[in-house]
């Protein structure tokens, strides 16, 4: 059953639930952070509209810096600004930042341990028709293996807004991951969001689904249908991929003793991998991973691609059934 403490939307499973891209929450969060703290500045590499950093540009033109198509320069410019006391957010598509500028982030931001926030838009397969070159599927892996870096992958636009505000308040480097397509707005202002703290969205006993990003909604759809088939699954919304909330995840798995991880990212090196790395050292259970299986993306509509890459709720249901069979034997 849905966790009442999660305060999810009353329209949770209604067909007319509003759909908003998580990148919109980034734009709104930037404006609110800019209002709170005048040290917040935003840099953008010729993508101000589609990363939504234009919301900030309109409100604070004097604190918005256009760098042109130059993501490597942007990362190190931001490092310099952070060293001069600013809180820079750098905005682009995730394939370019933290993709193209990975080494600049590593040396000038992460080793330096400076206060730069990286906003990566157009992450995941649901980018759609642009195709493989624009669908970031390795970004969380790149960022979570980097010392000093934190990684947040919000599940909807509201959580994205909260995550952006939280990032401005954290001292040090943070990577924020956003999607292009509109996805259900299923949390509310009251839904708890604490950096580093995973939230139980659905309470169950037989299996734990740890999800992050907009696919957390697909996980909820899956468990609501599974409940009708007599399967009781728990859903944890694991927005903070690094540092991982060991306690919440372990407590759930000690109860259910079976795991399914769900993410719009390569299964190698992603959020699910980080959960399994932690479990290997603490508490072992059978696990299935829903995610991209060592393939690049391609053109298509978001819906076509979520099905082709086996990420939508029927595939999560299948993974749950498979892990339950493994749990019994």
Partner 1 sequence: MPTQKQYSIAQLEKKANEIRQDIITMLLEAKSGHSAGPLGMADIFTALYFKVLKHDPKNPEWEDRDRLILSNGHICPVRYAAMAHAGYFKKEELMTLRKFGSRLQGHPERARLPGMETTSGPLGSGLSQASGMAYAGKYLDKKDWRVFCLMSDGEQECGQTWEAAMFAAKNRLDNLVAIIDRNNIQIDGFTEDVMPLEDLKAKYEAFNWHVLEIDGHNMEEIIDACNQAKAIHQKPTLILAHTIPGKGVSFMENDFKWHGTPPGVSDMPGEPAKDEQAKIALKELRTLQGKISSEHE
Is 119 a binding residue for ligand TPP by CB under 6 A? The answer is no
Nearer to partner 1, 127 or 276 (CB): 127
Is 299 a binding residue for partner 1 by CB under 8 A? The answer is yes
Instruction: Report DSSP letters for 43-110, one per residue.
Output: EESS-TTTTSTHHHHHH-GGGEEE--S-HHHHHHHHHHHHHTT-EEEEEEETIIIIIITHHHIIIIII
Number of residues lying near ligand TPP (CB under 6 A): 7
**Two tokens, residue 104:** 């600049």
Is 18 a binding residue for partner 1 by CB under 8 A? The answer is no
Is 300 a binding residue for partner 1 by CB under 8 A? The answer is yes
CA-based nearest residue to 105, from 65, 113, 154: 113
Nearer to ligand TPP, 51 or 212 (CB): 51
- Among candidate residues 54, 71, 263, 264, the one labeled active-site is 71
d(CA 27, CA 257): 39
Q: Is 263 a catalytic residue?
A: no
Is 107 a binding residue for partner 1 by CB under 8 A? The answer is no
Please identify which residue in 5, 49, 69, 103 interacts with ligand TPP, judged by CB under 6 A.
Answer: 69
Please identify which residue in 22, 48, 273, 312 interacts with partner 1, judged by CB under 8 A.
Answer: 48
Site string for ligand TPP, 71-100 (x = CB under 6 A): x------------------------x---x
Beta strands in the chain (DSSP E): 19-20, 40-44, 64-66, 87-93, 117-121, 150-152, 174-177, 183-184, 199-202, 207-211, 233-237, 240-242, 259-266, 287-292
**Site residues for partner 1 per CB under 8 A:** 44, 46-50, 66-70, 72-73, 95-96, 99-100, 128-134, 298-301, 304-305, 308
């Amino acid at each position: 059953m849905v966790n009442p403490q999660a305060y999810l939307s009353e329209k949770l499973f209604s067909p007319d639930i509003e759909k908003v891209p998580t990148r919109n929450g980034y734009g709104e969060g930037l404006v609110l952070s800019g209002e709170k703290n005048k040290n917040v500045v935003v840099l953008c590499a010729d993508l101000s509209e589609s990363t939504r950093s234009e919301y900030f540009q309109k409100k604070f033109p004097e604190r918005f810096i256009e760098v042109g198509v130059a993501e490597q320069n942007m990362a190190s410019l931001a490092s310099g600004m952070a060293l001069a006391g600013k809180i820079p957010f750098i905005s682009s598509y995730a394939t370019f930042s933290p993709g193209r500028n990975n080494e600049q982030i590593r040396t000038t931001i992460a080793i330096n341990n400076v206060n730069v926030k990286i906003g990566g838009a157009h992450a995941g397969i649901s980018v759609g028709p642009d195709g493989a070159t624009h669908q970031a599927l390795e970004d969380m892996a790149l960022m979570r293996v980097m010392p000093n870096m934190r990684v947040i992958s919000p599940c909807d636009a509201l959580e994205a807004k909260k995550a952006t505000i939280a990032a401005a308040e954290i001292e040090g480097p943070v990577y924020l991951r956003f999607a292009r397509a509109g996805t259900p707005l299923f949390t509310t202002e009251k839904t708890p969001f604490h950096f580093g703290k995973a939230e139980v969205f659905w309470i169950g006993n037989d299996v734990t689904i740890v999800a992050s990003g907009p696919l957390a909604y697909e996980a909820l759809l899956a468990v609501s249908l599974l409940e009708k088939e007599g399967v009781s699954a728990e859903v944890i919304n694991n927005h903070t991929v690094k540092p991982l909330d060991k306690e919440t995840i372990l407590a759930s798995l000690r109860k259910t003793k079976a795991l399914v991880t769900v993410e719009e990212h390569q299964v190698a090196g992603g959020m699910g991998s980080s959960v399994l790395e932690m479990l290997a050292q603490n508490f072992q259970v059978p696990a299935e991973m829903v995610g991209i299986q060592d393939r690049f993306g391609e053109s298509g509509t978001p819906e076509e691609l979520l099905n082709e890459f086996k990420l939508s709720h029927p595939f999560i249901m299948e993974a749950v059934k498979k892990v339950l069979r493994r749990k019994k034997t």
